[in-house]
Structure 1
């Protein structure tokens, strides 16, 4: 049955850690409190019928280690004994893992909680700064990442602990600001009549934006995948792709700025995930920071807030490993999200 944590949050080693997104799942084992994560196994979620099957075949079949505990981060809200992912058909059933995988203790977090934990687990060598501003020590922070969807989390410091604040901020409404926006927005594919952040700020959202720009100008789109659009935009070989990426980056700046105001993120805003890493040149071009800072009457406040791209390819796993090793450093609420055999 689900249990609460506090001092009970200490987990038995070895600990399986897993970052499960809509497209890819990443797993590793932490042997003890002084160890870095072991070999990382990365699988496509579509290749396995269930998370249990993926863990067994991709991890446990390749090691003599038998994890006693697991800390899993999933892309979706954690609610109840059957946890459904937002952009993946897998269902996480912690109680069943006691029998199928031999685990005795399972903690399930939101994937962007893990990304938030990574912000304090990783050093500056794993970050690329975008624009001005310096972080204030122990001040609030925001993490957001366009990927299969748009993940969002806050991070606050209180009672000598870092406390991740999960949510579904990627589904907030987003609207037009400029005359050109008002030409593009009518052509964006909506979800139940509205444009949420995820309709623009993720892989399929970039495709959505690209098609909308083309339709606004009465042109035929040439590309159908985020990778093609990004490549054509960065090498400036397709004008529609160039504008679509500029539009994407501007909307990302606006959304990041909104969230920075919500969390008063004087500790910084952190962009994570593969898309952010691939478009660093576009993020540095200027329109991202301009949109981020365009928050009158608080533009001066925004100019002082730093923005970083997390460049570590396994950031979330590092965040989970930091929590697994030293849970007392973090104020992670596990009530209703921890199961023990």
Structure 2
């Protein structure tokens, strides 16, 4: 019979690591503590009714080796034996994974805990600076990632170890500050009357912002998806898509600055996810950096905090692998989140 375990003693290899978002599921196999993760084809969550079938198709159909442990990062709060994803109909049932797929143990984290773990292990080549600032080693770090939703996580250092902090920071309120914001805000789609970070700073949020700009300008929107808005902006097809991308970056800078203040993140704020990487070529970095630093009365302190874009491919896998190799180096609470057969 399976039961939750509270220990963080060594995990059993081989270890399946998985980064499960609202749209994509990315799996890799860590054969031992010295190996690099062996990646498998990325699968779309919409193509499978549950994570069990996705693991069978993406992993078991591509290797004869069966993992003993699964360390899964999922986009949603981890609570109980049935774990719902925020932007996907999958429900992760660790006891079922053990019973049906043969795992000896399953550990489930929040996806931005994995991203937070990653920023403890990223090489310098895996990040690109936006503006100046100096990383203070051992200081708190924050990661924020626009994707299907908007993820937020933090990493604090205490008692000789890194401690990831999960949360639902993507659902904080965003408000209008400029005259242009006040023209756009009335046209944004809300959730129960609220404009949260995720309502703008996500894939669907980019479309929401673009449509609101079109409404403010009195023109019909023609781009129905995040990809089409991004492509139009990259190719300079129309002013509304270009403005949507620029404002997306500035609003992300504002929120990143708020998060830096919240965690006193002198170790830096890190932007994760593919959406922002795709728009980097046309983002006006000085305006984004100015929005990040515009936090009176603390502009001087903000000027010294670095802001990075994570460019490392599959960064969550870097974090999960770092933890799997040496769990004792991380203050990760596993009570209620680790199941052992």
Partner of 1:298: 298
> How far off its partner does 1:29 sit?
0.8
Partner of 1:97: 97
> How far off its partner does 1:192 sit?
0.8
Distance 2:196 2:282 in 1: 22
Is contact 1:128-1:311 (8 Å) kept?
yes
Q: Is it true that 1:4 corresponds to 2:6 in the alignment?
A: yes
What are the residue-to-residue correspondences of 1:17-32 with 2, within 5 Å?
17-32=17-32
Distance 1:277 1:326 in 2: 30
Q: Is it true that 1:73 corresponds to 2:73 in the alignment?
A: yes
Is contact 2:40-2:58 (8 Å) kept?
no
Q: Which moved more, 1:11-20 or 1:245-254?
A: 245-254
> How far off its partner does 1:331 sit?
1.1
What is the SS of the residue equivalent to 1:27? strand
> How far off its partner does 1:242 sit?
1.2
Per-residue CA deviation, residues 213-244 of structure 1 (Å, 9 max, x unaligned), is: 00011111121111121122233221011111
Per-residue CA deviation, residues 18-50 of structure 1 (Å, 9 max, x unaligned), is: 000000000011011111111333100011111
Q: Is it true that 1:203 corresponds to 2:203 in the alignment?
A: yes
Per-residue CA deviation, residues 287-312 of structure 1 (Å, 9 max, x unaligned), is: 21111111000011111110111112
Is contact 2:112-2:152 (8 Å) kept?
yes
Q: Is it true that 1:215 corresponds to 2:212 in the alignment?
A: no
> How far off its partner does 1:284 sit?
4.5
Is contact 2:131-2:285 (8 Å) kept?
no
Distance 1:331 1:110 in 2: 15
What are the residue-to-residue correspondences of 1:306-317 with 2, within 5 Å?
306-317=306-317
Is contact 2:6-2:335 (8 Å) kept?
yes
Is contact 2:40-2:62 (8 Å) kept?
no
Q: Which moved more, 1:327-336 or 1:205-214?
A: 327-336
What is the SS of the residue equivalent to 1:170? helix
Is contact 1:131-1:284 (8 Å) kept?
no
**Number of residue pairs the alignment of both structures matches:** 339
Distance 1:285 1:98 in 2: 47
> How far off its partner does 1:168 sit?
0.2
What are the residue-to-residue correspondences of 1:1-341 with 2, within 5 Å?
1-6=3-8, 8=9, 10-341=10-341
> How far off its partner does 1:179 sit?
1.1
Give TM-score scaled by structure 2 length: 0.97
Is contact 1:143-1:269 (8 Å) kept?
yes
Q: Which moved more, 1:57-66 or 1:42-51?
A: 57-66
Per-residue CA deviation, residues 180-224 of structure 1 (Å, 9 max, x unaligned), is: 111100000000111000000000000000000000111111211
Distance 1:285 1:233 in 2: 16
Distance 1:282 1:260 in 2: 24
Is contact 1:130-1:283 (8 Å) kept?
no
What is the SS of the residue equivalent to 2:61? helix
Pairwise CA RMSD: 1.0
Is contact 1:33-1:325 (8 Å) kept?
yes
Distance 1:39 1:231 in 2: 28
